[in-house]
């Protein structure tokens, strides 16, 4: 569910007309709904009612400071994967003890930053990382709380580029080696082992792979406890998928995910952490774009819009499907048109949809990409020297620009000319 509905023939974001935002900020732009962000966070939080838990938003999916503040105020922790994300989380007012640090390639500087600024735990992914983290902690005179990410070797049945739980992926340590790696961690002077971490992939539309992984984690808890490790916390990662197309079968709901977690792990007396990103932010955002031209091809019509692959790369990168709808509500009886919907960037990969049936639109009309809140703005670039597009946050009948569109002057200001060219 989201808060982007037609009202009196116009698409609204909560109580603000999308066309009104477009008139104020220009196109293309991203717009997010505060109510949807809050609602989705709450669904996860309530799904884990009855067990000690923390929902850590995977802020890689959407990391604007205003969005982080909305979620932090709702009670979210943050899952960060870089020094930059850690810095953003702290700047948004998230306490260190609500931040978990994930990722296969944490650097010494990032470890130092988190250990001095405060951290709930590091999700460690390899022996060399453990050794480095221990040394950094010892040098600072502190203990680094860690979970170790295990790779359960289950097939998440998702797009190959976002599956992480098979042994061929770079993530975690093979679960078969877990005992040895936990032993090594326990012997390192700078580490405090507190739990287990697992994350098997993103955009999962079935609970079965999660359940298979969590059952393996439950077995591992018993084995590691018997080895003398204090396993108090289980970080179960993110990955629950969202419906991208209205016609699709809906993926499982957070409440059912929560029930499955309680069924598989609830008896272990562990604190549960989850790291959802997409399900919180995905359907909380639209990308809004304007039709520049409708071009007649040999055998098809092209809708050339002012948004491009640099603004929303998911279709080009993962063949991802996004619903694309006109901002003016189409007449129910109107005959649909069929378009290849493309951006202005000079490569054929800059294609959002092929032979897409949608209501007929014309030059100057606005279209909205649904489900664009997650991995949209955060993956954008200024390729083709197209300035980063603005982000707007709606709250009831108010809206505000939360990242402005840079001018061309601002866009080039970070380039510097060496002396010999001046």
Q: Which residues bind ligand LLP (CB under 6 A)?
A: 58, 61, 79, 102, 162, 199, 202-203, 237-239, 275-279, 314, 318, 374-375
For residue 412, give the H/E element and its range: helix 408-412
Q: What is the SS3 string spanning 354-407? A: EEEEECCCCCCCEEEECCCCCCCHHHCCCHHHCCCCCEEEEECCEEEEEECCCC
Q: Which of 1, 346, 417, 422 is catalytic?
A: 346
Q: Is the peptide bond before 112 cis (omega within 30 degrees of 0)?
A: no
| Residues in the chain, total | 422
Which has the closest alpha carbon to 310: 238, 383, 231, 416? 383
**27 contacts 288 by C-beta, under 8 angstroms:** yes
Chain position carrying tokens 């054929």: 348
User: Beta strand 144-151 with 191-197: parallel, antiparallel or unpaired?
Assistant: parallel
Distances in Å between the alpha carbon of 257 and those of 2, 161, 372? 19, 23, 23
Both structure tokens of 18: 């999308």
| Long-range contacts (CB closer than 8 Å, 24 or more residues apart) made by 174-180 | 174/150, 175/150, 175/151, 175/216, 175/220, 178/148, 178/150, 178/220, 178/223, 178/224, 179/223, 179/224, 179/227
Q: Is 270 a catalytic residue?
A: no
DSSP H/E element including 254: helix 254-265
Minimum distance between the CB of residue 263 and ligand LLP, rounded to whole angstroms?
Answer: 20
Give the residue among 313, 371, 399 at the shortest CA–CA distance from 22. 399
As a 3-state breakdown, the chain gives helix, strand, coil percent values, each rounded to 5, of 35, 25, 40
- Taking the C-alpha atoms of residue 351 and residue 308, their distance in angstroms, rounded to an integer, is 8
Q: Is 270 helix (H, G, I), strand (E, B) or coil?
A: coil
Count CB atoms within 10 A of the CB of residue 364: 9
User: In whole angstroms, what is the distance from residue 410 CA to residue 403 CA?
Assistant: 13
Distance CA 399, CA 33 (A): 9
Residues involved in catalysis: 346
């Amino acid at each position: 569910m989201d808060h982007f509905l037609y009202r009196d023939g116009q698409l609204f974001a909560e109580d603000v007309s999308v066309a009104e935002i477009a008139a104020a900020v220009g196109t293309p732009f991203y717009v997010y709904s505060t109510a949807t962000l809050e609602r989705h966070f709450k669904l996860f939080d309530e799904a884990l009612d009855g067990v000690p838990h923390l929902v850590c938003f995977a802020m890689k999916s959407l990391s604007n400071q205003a969005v982080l503040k909305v979620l932090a105020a709702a009670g979210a922790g943050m899952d960060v994967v870089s020094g930059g994300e850690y810095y953003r989380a702290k700047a948004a007012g998230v306490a260190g003890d609500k931040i978990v640090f994930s990722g296969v390639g944490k650097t010494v500087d990032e470890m130092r930053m988190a250990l001095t600024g405060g951290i709930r735990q590091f999700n460690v992914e390899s022996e060399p990382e453990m050794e480095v983290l221990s040394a950094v902690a010892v040098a600072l005179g502190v203990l680094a709380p860690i979970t170790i990410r295990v790779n359960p070797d289950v097939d998440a049945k998702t797009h190959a580029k976002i599956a992480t739980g098979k042994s061929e992926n770079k993530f975690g340590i093979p679960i078969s080696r877990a005992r040895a790696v936990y032993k090594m961690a326990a012997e390192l002077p700078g580490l405090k082992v507190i739990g287990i971490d697992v994350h098997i992939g993103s955009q999962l539309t079935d609970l079965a792979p999660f359940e298979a992984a969590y059952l393996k984690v439950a077995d591992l808890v018993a084995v590691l406890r018997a080895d003398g490790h204090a396993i108090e916390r289980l970080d179960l990662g993110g990955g629950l998928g969202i419906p991208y197309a209205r016609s699709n079968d809906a993926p499982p709901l957070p409440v059912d995910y929560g029930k499955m977690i309680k069924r598989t792990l609830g008896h272990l007396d562990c604190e549960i952490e989850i790291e959802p990103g997409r399900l919180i932010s995905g359907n909380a955002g639209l990308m809004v774009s304007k039709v520049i031209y409708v071009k007649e091809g040999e055998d098809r019509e092209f809708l050339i819009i002012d948004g491009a692959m640099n603004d929303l790369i998911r279709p080009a990168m993962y063949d991802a499907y996004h619903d694309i709808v006109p901002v003016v509500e189409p007449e129910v009886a109107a005959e649909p048109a069929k378009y290849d919907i493309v951006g202005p960037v000079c490569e054929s990969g800059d294609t959002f949809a092929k032979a897409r049936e949608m209501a007929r639109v014309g030059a100057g009309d606005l279209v909205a990409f649904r489900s664009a809140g997650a991995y949209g703005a955060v993956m954008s670039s200024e390729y083709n020297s197209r300035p980063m597009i603005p982000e707007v946050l709606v709250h009831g009948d108010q809206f505000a620009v939360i990242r402005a569109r840079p001018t061309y002057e601002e866009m080039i200001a970070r380039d510097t000319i060496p002396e010999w060219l001046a």
